């Protein structure tokens, strides 16, 4: 007797959650069909129904990460410098969920560096992030909260600062707990505004 569509969708959700748990605990390097099957309490044969090859599993994991990142609540209040600050805060691993997402994203960089198509996809994602940040910077400049300058260049520097802070917080969370990350970000934003 064939499974009902609801059963199939429920199983896909269970598989998604198992993939996420493997990624969060083992990173991209630990993402294997066997690891997901063990996490799910199933056989690798069941998983090959969903992912015939590891490349399918990797593509799915990246899509899952993107969907979870897009669904995460964002700080949208504020204008000017507050909007720039909020956009940068949204990058940092300040919550357990954001920490998991950042761990997974950073651990996937090795895979992206080895795969030209994935590398191009990641470059595009970071470029789109810089574009959003550039727009926030330009709006802050128009409102007088930031001094004149090339908004794209300022956005590139700000994104680079935030990503560097992400890496440090992931590698040394005791030295870079959330409150310390916020302090460092606030120092950076104040310097951008000419008040540092």
Given this model, what pLDDT does residue 23 score? 83
In the block, which residue shows the tokens 């593509």? 59
Q: What pTM does this model have?
A: 0.81
**pLDDT tens track for 63-81:** 877 777 777 666 666 788 9
Given this model, what pLDDT does residue 73 score? 66
Q: Could you give the C-alpha distances from 119 to 57, 62, 65, 67, 78, in angstroms and in order?
A: 17, 12, 16, 19, 33
CA pair distance 24, 61, nearest whole angstrom: 11
Given this model, what pLDDT does residue 91 score? 93
Q: What are the mean pLDDT values of the chain's consecutive 10-residue runs (196 residues total)?
A: 59 82 85 90 87 79 76 70 93 92 88 89 92 94 93 97 98 98 97 75
């Amino acid at each position: 007797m064939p499974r009902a569509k609801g059963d199939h969708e429920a199983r896909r959700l269970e598989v998604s959650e198992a993939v996420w748990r493997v990624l969060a605990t083992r990173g991209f390097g630990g993402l294997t069909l066997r690891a997901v099957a063990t996490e799910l309490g199933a056989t690798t044969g069941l998983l090959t129904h969903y992912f015939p090859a590891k490349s399918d599993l990797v593509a799915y994991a990246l899509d899952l990460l993107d969907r979870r990142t897009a669904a995460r609540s964002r700080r949208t209040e504020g204008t000017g410098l507050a909007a720039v600050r909020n956009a940068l805060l949204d990058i940092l691993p300040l919550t357990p969920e954001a920490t998991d997402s950042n761990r997974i994203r950073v651990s996937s960089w090795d895979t992206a560096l080895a795969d030209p198509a994935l590398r191009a996809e990641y470059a595009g994602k970071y470029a789109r992030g810089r574009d959003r940040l550039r727009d926030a910077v330009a709006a802050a400049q128009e409102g007088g909260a930031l001094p004149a300058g090339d908004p794209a260049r300022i956005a590139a520097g700000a994104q680079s600062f935030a990503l560097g802070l992400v890496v440090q917080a992931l590698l040394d969370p005791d030295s870079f707990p959330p409150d310390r990350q916020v302090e460092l970000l606030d120092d950076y934003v104040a310097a951008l505004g000419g008040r540092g």
